Amino acid sequence: MKDIKHIVIIGAGASGLAAACAAAEAGARVTVLEKNHVPGRKILSTGAGKCNLTNARLSPERYHGGTAGFIEKVLKILPPAEIRDFFASLGLLTVQDPDGRIFPRSLKAADVAGVLVNFITGKAVEIKLLTEAVGVKKIPSGFEVSIRAVPPSWGKKAAPGSVTALNCDAVILAAGGPAYPQIGGSALGYELARALGHTVNAPLPVLVPLKVKEKFIKQVEGVRTQAAVELLSDGGVLARACGEILFTKYGLSGPVILDLSRKAVFALKSGPVKCRIDLFPEYDGKTFAAFMRERRQNMENRFWRDFMRGLADERLLLLLSDLAKAGPDKLVSAVPERVFSEFVGLLKGFELQLAGPLDFEAAMTAAGGVPVSEVSPGTFGSLKVKGLFITGELLDTDADSGGYNLHFAWTSGLLAGRHAAGR
Ligand SMILES: Cc1cc2nc3c(=O)[nH]c(=O)nc-3n(C[C@H](O)[C@H](O)[C@H](O)COP(=O)(O)OP(=O)(O)OC[C@H]3O[C@@H](n4cnc5c(N)ncnc54)[C@H](O)[C@@H]3O)c2cc1C
């Protein structure tokens, strides 16, 4: 009789479910352990519930932590189009937006998790929910995984069950990272990897909102605007991006800030970082100053408040005007030149001192984890422990927003699943 491999996958998230599909397809018997009460809980929250599952403009440069070379190899072995083909083969229709971001056609993340779970239903796959892996040991016949039942998040008072053992031929560590602990993120995977002899680079929250030191920022909480944002450190520009920003009671959020957050988080480790916001990036400095002077001439007999109206968000303008010390009830002609220039300068370059990122509770992913140099780019097999595979966010690579993080989770999961099953 043909030997059927038994594979234990720790984590029914994006990479764990992809690995289960591939391993089941390759004929293995699979047990998936998931501490949440549903599989794919994090998938359901991705892309604000729409799940930006991949990107048509995928490239290694989108991945950080010095991993572009590793990702380049991975993408040669499993080209990006195969991820779209994989989801098409599961029955998922997709749509692409002008930035190349790919979503399920229904714009429902639940459909992405649903097609993955549908595929493995009826195959030799058991998903053990509310079950946590607490240890993994290499034994002569393969691995011994220690597991215990855990109470659901709404039943925290119940004690976890007693620890039992599960033996298998191969283990796929797909336990993710600490981002969004409220939906399953945890550092447990790092502990398991470390216990098996792997290195873990300290995790940092990335794709995360940023706090600023200026307390007055809470006056503009909730204001959304288009802007060009620069990160400044030691007088130099670290990074620049254009798009939507959101002011919050602690600082800054919105797509542009999330995308710049990685650079800011790492730069803050070695010194102060400022954020410069240009509310009129469509004008160069000289043209904008000329435009504002002409506006001032045309409105010199009006109140300053009326002069500002229509330029940008009212609350934001009031804050900047206060900072420049121009009273809203003055006549435009009574506002001194120095104050006017200061106000125009703030509209083109409003600087805020960054205080740090919000915590993992608000971070879409983690930088850090097991170095990619400790796994094979072709199989995601551990280079330290035969029969062990490591996938997804547990590895030390993280990407820009735009579907790149999930793409890596699917790719690493599919390759690990296939190879763990011995194909
Ligand atoms: C709010 C939010 C929105 C996002 N949106 C996008 C997006 O639109 N596009 C994109 O590309 N990326 C997005 N991401 C990032 C993306 O979700 C992750 O990169 C991806 O889910 C990582 O997959 P993974 O399999 O490594 O980990 P996860 O999907 O986190 O899965 C890990 C699973 O393992 C389980 N687990 C952990 N430890 C154990 C244990 N010891 N025993 C049993 N189970 C365990 C966890 O409960 C979890 O279910 C988003 C992230 C967040 C938080």
260 close to ligand 1 (CB < 6 Angstrom): no
pLDDT number for residue 1: 45
Q: How far apart are CA 328 and CA 309, in angstroms?
A: 11
For ligand 1, atom 39: residue with the closest CA: 175
pLDDT of residue 155: 64
Would the CB of 393 count as within 6 Å of ligand 1? yes
Domains of the chain and CATH, by start:
6-205+364-420 (3.50.50.60), 209-357 (no CATH)
Distance CA 275, CA 232 (A): 6
Q: Which residue among 406, 407, 412 is best mutated to probe the pocket of ligand 1, counting the most ligand atoms within 8 A of its Cβ?
A: 406
Atom of ligand 1 minimally distant from the CA of 189 = 38
pTM of the predicted structure, to 2 decimals: 0.94
Atom 19 of ligand 1: nearest residue by CA position: 405
Interval between CA 43 and ligand 1 midpoint (Å) = 7
Q: Ligand 1 centroid vs 20 CA: distance in angstroms? A: 15
Q: What angle do CA 91, 92, 95 make, to 5 degrees?
A: 145
Any ligand 1 atom below 6 A from CB of 189: yes
Long-range own/partner contacts, residues 187-193 (CB < 8 A, 24 or more apart): 188/35, 188/132, 188/133, 188/134, 189/10, 189/11, 189/394, 190/369, 190/370, 190/394, 192/10, 192/133, 192/135, 192/136, 193/370, 193/390, 193/394
Q: Whose CA is nearest to atom 21 of ligand 1?
A: 14
Ligand 1 atom closest to the CA of 192, numbered from 1: 41
Ligand 1 geometric centre to CA of 120 (Å):
19
The answer to whether the CB of 396 is under 6 A from ligand 1 is: no
Q: Take atom 13 of ligand 1 and give the residue whose Cα is closest.
A: 46
317's CB contacts (< 8 A; 6+ apart) are 308, 311
Q: Which two tokens stand for residue 270?
A: 């070695």
Distance in angstroms (rounded) separating the CA atoms of residues 391 and 198: 13
Residue 156: what pLDDT?
A: 61
Atom of ligand 1 nearest to the CA of 132: 42
Q: What is the pLDDT along the chain (423 residues), one digit of tens a residue?
A: 458 899 999 999 999 999 999 999 999 999 999 999 999 999 999 999 999 999 999 999 999 999 999 999 999 999 999 999 999 999 999 999 999 999 999 999 999 999 999 999 999 999 999 999 999 999 999 999 999 999 887 766 677 789 999 999 999 999 999 999 999 999 999 999 999 999 999 999 999 999 999 999 999 999 999 999 999 998 799 999 999 999 999 999 999 999 999 999 999 999 999 999 999 999 999 999 999 999 999 999 999 999 999 999 999 999 999 999 997 788 999 999 999 999 999 999 999 999 999 999 999 999 999 999 999 999 999 999 999 999 999 999 999 999 999 999 999 999 999 999 986
Report the C-alpha gap between 94 and 105 in whole angstroms.
4
Q: Which of 180, 364, 395, 400 to mutate to test the pocket of ligand 1 (most atoms within 8 A of CB)?
A: 364
Atom of ligand 1 nearest to the CA of 39: 49
Q: Does the beta carbon of 55 lie inside 6 Å of ligand 1? A: no
> CB of 42 closer than 6 A to ligand 1?
yes
Tell me, in angstroms, the distance from the centre of ligand 1 to residue 10's CA: 12
Q: Report the atom number in ligand 1 closest to the C-alpha of 391.
A: 26
Q: Which atom of ligand 1 is nearest to the CA of 407?
A: 11
Ligand 1 geometric centre to CA of 362 (Å) = 13
Instruction: Indicate which residue's Cα is closest to atom 9 of ligand 1.
Output: 403
Q: Contact 184/13 with Cβ under 8 angstroms?
A: yes
Q: Three-state SS string across the chain, please?
A: CCCCCEEEEECCCHHHHHHHHHHHHCCCEEEEECCCCCCCHHHHHHHHHCCCCEECCCCHHHEECCCHHHHHHHHHHCCCHHHHHHHHHCCCCEEECCCCEEEECCCCHHHHHHHHHHHHCCCCEEEECCEEEEEEEEECCEEEEEEEECCCHHHCCCCCCCCEEEEECEEEECCCCCCCHHHCCCCHHHHHHHHCCCCCEEEEEECCCEEECCHHHHHHCCCEEEEEEEEEECCEEEEEEEEEEEECCCEEECHHHHHHHHHHHHHHCCCCCEEEEECCCCCCHHHHHHHHHHHHHHCCCCEHHHHHCCCCCHHHHHHHHHHCCCCCCCEHHHCCHHHHHHHHHHHHCEEEEEEEECCHHHCCEEEEEECHHHECCCCCEECCCCCEEECHHHECCEECCCCHHHHHHHHHHHHHHHHHCCC
13 C-alpha to center of ligand 1: Å? 5
Is the beta carbon of 179 within 6 A of some atom in ligand 1?
A: yes
Residue with CA nearest ligand 1 atom 23: 14
pLDDT, residue 423, reads 60
